Structure formats: structure tokens, C-alpha cells
Amino acid sequence: MKRIGVFTSGGDAPGMNACIRAVVRGAVYHGIEVFGIRRGYSGMIAGDVYKMESHSVSNIVQRGGTILKSARSKEFMTPEGRKKAFDSLNAHGIEGMVAIGGNGTFTGAMIFGNEYGIPTVGAPGTIDNDLYGTDYTIGFDTAVNTALDAIDRIRDTASSHDRIFFIEVMGRDSGYIAVQSGIAGGAELVMVPEVLTPLSEVVETLKQGWSRSKSSSIIVVAEGDEAGSAVEVAEKIKSQVDENADIRVTTLGHTQRGGSPSAYDRILASRLGLGALEGLLGGQKNVMAGIINNELVYTPFEDTIRLPKPISDDLLRMVKILSV
């Protein structure tokens, strides 16, 4: 293999640039030409491809987002779109790819690889930490710390004004950010998509707190919780508690996706980027590079996409115990 491509796709995550840097400099070290593909599958179809050198990735390890940009491509979901992408890669002599992204990115790579035989190895880049085959994904640690910083600040206001705050964090299908930021931030309750949390339990938690003279509370809600958004949950709860209770809502939104990556995310992204590249050069294809128990492993895209990654029961239990 003499030429490879690297691209980012789907939602951006802090640490993606560190991963790109590892792929590019790893390729240079191994004497392989490396090409950056801008805007994911959309840029692949359009031929937005350029050669990268070691200096192309200077001074990016500390930057959030992705220098290769990201986009979602409906055209790539069609056979015609994938044919255009293949022709574009062929025109540049690209023989294999490193894909940095999440579930949707790897689904596209698997289909594309099966149709055209171009081997791809993935690096898990998503703040949700919802991919089977790795303990942590690129961007998750930074997102948790971003959410935690906000929770700490809101806690100050909640305590000062005797308020109940419902704080919504990202996690449409995964409650990892909610659970870890909730534990670290001392939340009274965490609501996640993986576990049914009856509203009666929320009301009971608040009332128990009041009975212990607790004047303020923090409830962390993952955006995909079955009870609805933090705004919806707060409205439902308001009618079931003391009418004088001061209830407020804060939605953290996309602040969790941006910002300079943590040291952990920079190191993780570098390990996964180099691991994906060297796996590709070693003959791996249609797999994701991951770190499990501090060891580099490769998991088939099919398993990464299909198999669930449940939240540890110990973490969920911890929330209840520590809120007493």
C-alpha cells in the first residue's frame, strides 16, 4: 500500500485533529503518501482531496473540531454516490482509508468496502462514547469535563437561590456523558435513555432532599431520555411538587462538542490514529481500532455498529447512593 486517505465524518469531537495528526505523521514515518479528504463522504464524492505532509498537521493537536471538516452526505447513501466516491479515490490512487467518526461513518465505510474492496480502518470519534469495541471514544472525556464545568457553575447559583436545576446534556441514544458528569458534579439524580426513570422517582428524590433540609438540587438529563427533554421533564415535575419550588432549566447543547481537547483525549486520539493506520498497513479492513483495558484492539465494523455498549450498573447505582 503506497497511498492512503484520511477523513472525518459525522459530528465533530475534540481530539479529531490529534487523530488526524497521528495518521499523517505515522504515514510519513512509514513512507506512505497520505491524502486528506475534506468534508467526509461529501468531499470524497466531489474529489475534495489534497496531499498532506508532516507540516500539514503542525500546531493542531490542541485545536477542537476538525481541520478536514465534516459533513453528512445523503448522496453517499446511494449506489450512484458511492460509485462517484470510488472513482474519485481511484483518480488519486488511494488504496486504503482511515475513517474518523462514529456509527454512521462506519456503516458507510462497511458498505463501501464491501462494494469496492477499498480497505478502511476506523478510529472512534464521537463524544457519546457509544461505540462497542473501545472503553472510551475520542472527545468523550473533554465533553464530560465541559459539562462538569457548567454543572459546577450552575450548582453555585442553585445553592445561592435555593433552586432546582434540570441540566440537559448531549446523549440522544447514550447516557454516558450524563452519568459521568452527574457523578462528578454531585447531581441528585441522572436520567438516561438506557434506564427508565419514572417521574415519581424524581419527585420522591426531591422531596427526600427537602426532608433533609436540602435547599437546592441538580438533575442531569440526557437529551434522549424517555421522559423527554429537560424542559419537558421540568414542566411535568413542576405540577407535582411544591408550587413555591423555584425550578430552572439549562440546556448545554453544542458547547460540549467544541473546545480544546483534554490531555486524555489528545493521547487517546493519537494512539487510535496510529493504531488505525498501522492496522490498515498490516492488512486490517472493515474494523475499528479501539482501546480496551489499555490494549489496542480491532473490532469488525459490523459488531461496532450492531452491538450495544451498556452503561455499568455500578455507575447508575453510585448516583443513587451518593445523592443521599
Between CA 95 and CA 285 the distance in angstroms is 11
**223 annotated ligand-binding residue:** yes
**215 annotated ligand-binding residue:** yes
DSSP single-letter state for residue 92:
T
Q: What are the grid coordinates assigned to 183, written together?
A: 457523578
Catalytic one among 128, 130, 141, 225? 128
**256 annotated ligand-binding residue:** yes
Query: Which CA distances in Å does 138 have to 8, 61, 161, 262, 273?
Result: 12, 13, 37, 10, 10
DSSP single-letter state for residue 55:
G
Residue 128 designated active-site = yes
**110 annotated ligand-binding residue:** no
**271 annotated ligand-binding residue:** no
**23 annotated ligand-binding residue:** yes
**188 annotated ligand-binding residue:** yes
Query: Which CA distances in Å does 155 have to 101, 149, 152, 159, 238?
Result: 33, 10, 5, 6, 19
**172 annotated ligand-binding residue:** yes
CA 151 to chain centre: 19
**304 annotated ligand-binding residue:** no
Beta bridge partners of 297: 290
**Pick from 282, 263, 308: nearest CA to 15:** 263
**194 annotated ligand-binding residue:** no
**144 annotated ligand-binding residue:** no
Q: What number of residues does the chain have? A: 324
Cα-based torsion angle of the residue sequence 46, 47, 51, 55 in order, rounded to the nearest 10 degrees? -10
**155 annotated ligand-binding residue:** yes
What residues are designated binding site? Answer: 11, 21-25, 72-73, 102-105, 126-128, 155, 163, 170-172, 186-188, 212, 214-216, 223, 248, 254-257
What residues are designated binding site for substrate? Answer: 126-128, 163, 170-172, 223, 248, 254-257
Catalytic residues, which ones? Answer: 128
What residues are designated binding site for ATP? Answer: 11, 72-73, 102-105
